[in-house]
């Protein structure tokens, strides 16, 4: 009986790992006959687990939709990944409380050995502040806003919102075709097409969603791998509160070898000089980034950054006098 129960759990685990399984492949993976697989499928149905079967040479089994769902079956690495993800989740308001509830539910459905492992992570792992690399407060995004945007992307519905850029003009209404949410540097961004068909990046914490349009658009997506790079490049030129133009006394190739190509625009001047256009959320962070290049440079804009570099340069000189 114990062998049969263990095999049923293994069968459920396999069927959770992908949508469809031929009976012969299930039999091979579990080391039993196809007749045993048919009998095990019948037992699962008797226990209330919905299993659909498609007959014929290309037939297969798959978990169906029903009131009773199979138990959550995770291997060791999956359990650790989920626990760490829930324990360290951030960037969305209310995530800490939601993560604790989800971890409690996760522990209830895991076997004893994995439950102890997940509990160990939950009770021994601490998470440091998200803005340790910046003197700027991390923005929080309402989970309902993220969910609403994700649903609009899924359903291919136009999205309407008011967009307010801090320290800029008043908010203005925008109607877009939403395509992808990208999380980067503890910020959430939406990649979308505007009414003119142009691609743009929008900070989610600067958006105030309006009433749903319910209107569908005909999708014209980017290639799958391009969304993240688009966000990085767009933010580098237009999405920061502080933008800087820096003359670096090194070749463009040398600068690009020291930074991610998507977080700034590098323009070659000659073999020993290039222009780096980048930015951040504060003058202090831009100054740190420049220093981390490890190369000689000259800054002409913005004036506030020039003044700030003068202050910290004098401060460093005093430190070694």
Statement to judge: residues 213 and 274 lie in one domain:
no
Q: Which of 148, 238, 130, 135 is nearest to 187 (CA)?
A: 130
CATH number at 173 reads 2.30.30
Assess whether 264 and 231 both reside in one domain. no
> What does the pLDDT read at residue 132?
47
**207 found inside a domain:** yes
Q: Produce one character per residue of 55-70: b if its CB has 16 or more CB atoms within 10 Å, e if not.
A: eeeeebbebeeeeeeb
pLDDT given at position 64: 75
**The pLDDT value given to residue 172:** 82
206 within some domain: yes
Task: Among 173, 203, 237, give the residue marking a domain's end.
Answer: 237
Joined together, the tokens standing for residue 64 give: 């169906």
Of 63, 93, 114, which closes a domain? 63
* Number of domains, the chain: 4
* pLDDT at residue 296 in the model: 94
**Is 222 among the domain residues?**
yes
**For residue 275, what are the domain limits?**
240-319
Same domain, 230 and 285: no
DSSP per position, 81-116: HHHHHHHH--SBTTHHHHHHHHHHHHHHHS-HHHHH
Q: Which of 196, 222, 237 is the last residue of a domain?
A: 237
Residues 155 and 180 in one domain: yes
Q: How far is residue 90's CA from residue 186's CA, in Å, rounded to a whole number? A: 8
Mark whether 245 and 219 lie in a shared domain. Answer: no
Domain harbouring 30, CATH code: 1.10.10.10
Domain co-membership, 81 together with 41: no
- The answer to whether residue 37 is domain-embedded is yes
Structure token pair of residue 78: 């999956």
Round to whole Å and give the CA distance between 258 and 152: 38
C-alpha triplet 12, 15, 20: angle, nearest 5°: 155
Same domain, 245 and 161: no
Same domain, 151 and 212: yes
Contacts of 41 (CB under 8 A, 6+ apart): 11, 51, 53, 61
- Taking the model in full, what pTM does it have? 0.58
The answer as to whether 249 is a domain residue is yes
- What's the chain's length in residues? 321
Say what the pLDDT of residue 94 is: 55
pLDDT averaged per 10 residues in sequence order, the chain, 321 residues: 69 81 91 91 82 85 65 68 68 62 71 73 60 58 83 93 79 91 81 93 91 92 83 72 88 87 80 88 84 90 90 92 80
If asked whether residues 201 and 158 sit together in one domain, one would say: yes
- How many Cα atoms within 13 Å fall on the side-chain side of residue 2? 0
130 belongs to a structural domain: no
Edge-to-edge strands of the sheet including 297-301?
265-270, 273-280, 242-248, 297-301
pLDDT at 126: 59
CATH code of residue 301: 3.30.70.250
Query: Does some domain include residue 104?
Result: yes
Based on the fold, state whether residues 160 and 227 are members of the same structural domain. yes
As a dihedral over the C-alpha atoms of residue 177, residue 179, residue 185, residue 186, rounded to 10 degrees, the angle is 80
What is the H or E stretch that residue 284 is in? helix 283-292
If asked whether residues 90 and 33 sit together in one domain, one would say no
218 and 147 inside one domain: yes
């Amino acid at each position: 009986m114990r062998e049969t129960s263990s095999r049923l759990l293994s069968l459920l685990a396999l069927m959770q790992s992908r949508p469809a399984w031929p009976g012969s492949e299930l039999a091979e993976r579990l080391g039993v006959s196809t007749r045993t697989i048919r009998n095990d499928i019948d037992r699962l149905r008797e226990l209330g687990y919905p299993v659909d079967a498609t007959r014929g040479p290309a037939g297969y089994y798959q978990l169906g939709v029903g009131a009773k769902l199979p138990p959550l079956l995770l291997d060791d690495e999956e359990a650790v990944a989920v626990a760490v993800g829930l324990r360290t989740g951030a960037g969305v308001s209310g995530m800490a409380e939601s993560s604790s509830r989800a971890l409690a539910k996760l522990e209830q459905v895991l076997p004893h050995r994995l439950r102890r492992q997940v509990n160990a992570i939950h009770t021994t792992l601490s998470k440091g502040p998200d803005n340790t690399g910046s003197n700027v407060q991390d923005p929080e995004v309402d989970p309902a806003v993220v969910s609403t945007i994700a649903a609009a992307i899924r359903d291919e519905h136009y999205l309407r919102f008011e967009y307010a850029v801090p320290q800029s003009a008043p908010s203005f209404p925008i109607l877009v075709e939403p395509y992808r949410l990208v999380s980067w540097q503890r910020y959430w961004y939406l990649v979308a097409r505007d009414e003119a068909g142009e691609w743009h990046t929008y900070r989610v914490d600067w958006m105030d969603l309006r009433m749903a349009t319910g209107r569908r658009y005909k999708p014209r997506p980017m290639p799958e791998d391009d969304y993240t790079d688009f966000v990085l490049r767009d933010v580098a030129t237009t999405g920061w509160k502080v933008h800087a133009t820096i003359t670096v006394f090194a070749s463009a190739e040398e600068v690009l070898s020291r930074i991610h190509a998507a977080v700034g625009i590098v323009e070659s001047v000659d073999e020993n000089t290039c222009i780096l256009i980048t930015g951040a959320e504060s003058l202090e962070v831009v100054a740190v980034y420049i220093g981390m290049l490890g190369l000689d440079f000259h800054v002409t804009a913005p004036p506030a950054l020039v003044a700030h570099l003068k202050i910290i340069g004098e401060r460093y000189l005093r430190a070694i006098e």
